[in-house]
Amino acid sequence: MSKELCDAIDQVEEYITFDSTSQKYNFNDGILNSYCTNQNCESDDLKLGSAFMALLDNFKGIEDEKLEDDKIYQYAVLWLSYKIKQNPKIEFIRTTIDDILKKNEWYNELNIPVDDKKNTIRFHYIYLINLYNFLKGICNTINKRKDSSTSSECLESAKKCSDLYRACIMHFPWREICNPYCSVLTNLKKDYDKLKAKYNLSELNLPEGLSDCNEECSKKASIRPNSLPGSSLIPTNINNGNKLPYIAVPLVLIPIILGISYKYLTHVGEKS
């Protein structure tokens, strides 16, 4: 990861801001209108899509990142998810990112195939924000190294990266989205490791019992479908002995109910 990539994220943050009073996104630089039809981004969705495309274009222009198309797309999505969540009126579900991006004409011109792995970077916000925090932690470490006259601040920032990486592993997603999640996390870790090797920073250590994302994915794959860790499976076989009490209860109640009904009708008949 380069400082230019981190600077591009900081720049787009200045270009588009969320106003908590009006509950709307505002452009602080008209250049973002260039990514909207007729250079007019009327809605919040169009503004977000425009900012995403501007960021992606900036990423593509960075010499060090040119050969890593999937990675820069992932990082742009992480930023977008963070920006979307600033607006409490937007319900963040799995399709939210696509619903926003597909309203942008320039995004549709990318012609990303349906089965392209870029489309798999769509999961719950809690996982996206953990990854984005790790991304920002790496950027902060880069900036500390470039801007600080001493290395102590950089080393301290690197230690925080270890905590952020640990959070990404500890809050691991379910099996269906494990691989795309791991793809993003692996790219982030590789970027940190390059920084570590260059500046002799600390390792990204994990507590005992936790492994890297590939091993954690393997663990998820071994869990039986439709089961949750620590929960028992509900028997699906109607002949299973565990279900007999549930079947027997209504059968026992039937004669009791019929008996009560018979006594009631007999009593009413005698009074008549």
pLDDT digits (tens, 9 = 90+) for 14-46: 999 999 999 999 999 889 999 998 899 999 999
Residues 194 and 105 in one domain: yes
10 Å CB burial of residue 135 (0-12, 13-18, 19+) is buried
Report the Cα–Cα distance between both ends of the chain, in Å, rounded.
92
Give the pLDDT mean for 190-212.
89
Q: Tell me the C-alpha distance between 94 and 140, whole Å.
A: 29
The token pair at 220 is 């998820």
pTM for the whole thing?
A: 0.78
Of all residues in the chain, the percent with pLDDT exceeding 90 is: 50
Q: Tell me the C-alpha distance between 258 and 228, whole Å.
A: 42
232 is a domain residue: no
Residues 85 and 132 in one domain: yes
pLDDT category of residue 246 using cuts at 50, 70 and 90: very low
Residue 179 has pLDDT above 50, yes or no: yes
The answer to whether 25 touches 18, Cβ cutoff 8 Å, is yes
Residues 266 and 152 in one domain: no
22 is a domain residue: yes
Map the chain to HEC letters. Answer: CCHHHHHHHHHHHHHEEEECCCCEEEECCHHHHHHCHHHCCCCHHHHHHHHHHHHHHHHHCCHHHCCCHHHHHHHHHHHHHHHHCCCCCCCCCCCHHHHHHCCCHHHHCCCCCCCCHHHHCCCCHHHHHHHHHHHHHHHHHHHHHHHCCCCHHHHHHHHHHHHHHHHHHHCCCCHHHHHHHHHHHHHHHHHHHHHHHHHCCCCCCCCCCCCCHHHHHHHHHHCCCCCCCCCCCCCCCCCCHHHHHHHHHHHHHHHHHHHHHHHHHHHHHHHC
Residues 144 and 250 in one domain: no
Greater confidence (56 vs 252) lies with 56
Count how many domains the chain has.
2
The token pair at 172 is 């691991």
Of all residues in the chain, the percent with pLDDT exceeding 70 is: 78
Residues 255 and 208 in one domain: no
Greater confidence (146 vs 144) lies with 144
How do residues 254-268 score in pLDDT, each as one tens digit? 554 555 554 444 444
How do residues 55-75 score in pLDDT, each as one tens digit? 999 999 987 766 688 899 999
235 is a domain residue: no
pLDDT category of residue 204 using cuts at 50, 70 and 90: very high
Q: For residue 133, give every residue at least 6 positions away whose Cβ sits within 8 Å of its Cβ, in sequence order, or none.
A: 164, 167
Residues 93 and 178 in one domain: yes
For residue 258, what are the domain limits? 241-271
236 is a domain residue: no
Beta-carbon count within 10 A of 51 CB: 24
